[in-house]
Amino acid sequence: MTTDTGTDGALPAQELESPLEPITRVGVVGGGTMGSGIAEVCARAGLDTLVVEVDESAVNSARQTIEKSLKRAVSRNKLAPAARDLALGSLNFSTDLGDLADRDLAIEAVIESLEEKLSVFRAMDKVMGPNAILATNTSSIPIITLGSITSRSDIVIGMHFFNPAPVQPLVELVRSLNTTSETMDRADRFLVEVLGKRVIRCRDRAGFVVNRLLVPYLLDAIRMYDEGKVSAVDIDNGMMYGCGHPMGPLTLCDLIGLDTIEAVADVLYEEFKGTHNAPPPLLRRMVAAGHLGRKSGKGFYEYD
């Protein structure tokens, strides 16, 4: 169990005298890169996992993404064939948010748009049971903003996974001003004991911990590249071989998606007003041009 060191009215995590209600049925709203990864993690743990998407085309895309990921894990000897079969058997898909009615936990993983997320939270709040936890995978939007439009802001949390979710061990567990200690403990235990993740507890501030430190660094790399005095390769090699980073900042931007970097930077700048959080002009232009990184085939590098 992790230790809560935040303020915002948060109390230290404590062992409860009675067992916390287990989470066995999980819903994931959104089957894109993050949603499919989170669903795969839950299915690998043998949980009854439901992925909800907007239409059948999106459902088929999410299913194929998860199947390919599981196949790749088996081919690399990271997952046994029997575990793959267990995961596939634990997955279900739907285009109806009403099917979340029996879930103990639903994780929203749609695009980083406040209006889209508010719409999903209103719908989840209407259909899910009164004790079900509503979680968001947002990387920057305040949790209290999403919780306040529901009837259960005390059991709304941030549950921020990192890409790729089946590989990256960290989850930021974010508590709003209204989230109860019991909700945090229940979610913490689920993430650690059931999913095998490493949890850090965060205050409800834009960017939480990782993105508040990471995004300004990425933006500085973009500014340096835009000055035209250093190549993308040299910037990346400098951080890889000089600082021991597994990949350089511009490669990481392409992996995350330049549109996502821009959206997070906008939220950070809006909250803190620091110029180091402001999206550079080059980033704006690349997003406008559709050069989003790996997912579009072109960013700071080109991809097949």
Residue positions annotated with a catalytic role? 139, 160, 172, 211
| Of 125, 129, 127, nearest in space to 156 by CA | 125
Burial zone of 76 (CB within 10 Å; 0-12 exposed, 13-18 middle, 19+ buried): exposed
DSSP letter string over 197-212?
A: -EEEEEES-TTTTHHH
Strand 170-175 relative to strand 156-161: parallel, antiparallel, unpaired?
Answer: antiparallel
Q: Return the number of other C-beta atoms located less than 10 Å from residue 240's C-beta.
A: 15
Q: Which residues contact 284 (CB under 8 A, 6 or more apart)?
A: 262
CA 271 – CA 10 distance, rounded (Å): 21
CA 272 – CA 267 distance, rounded (Å): 9
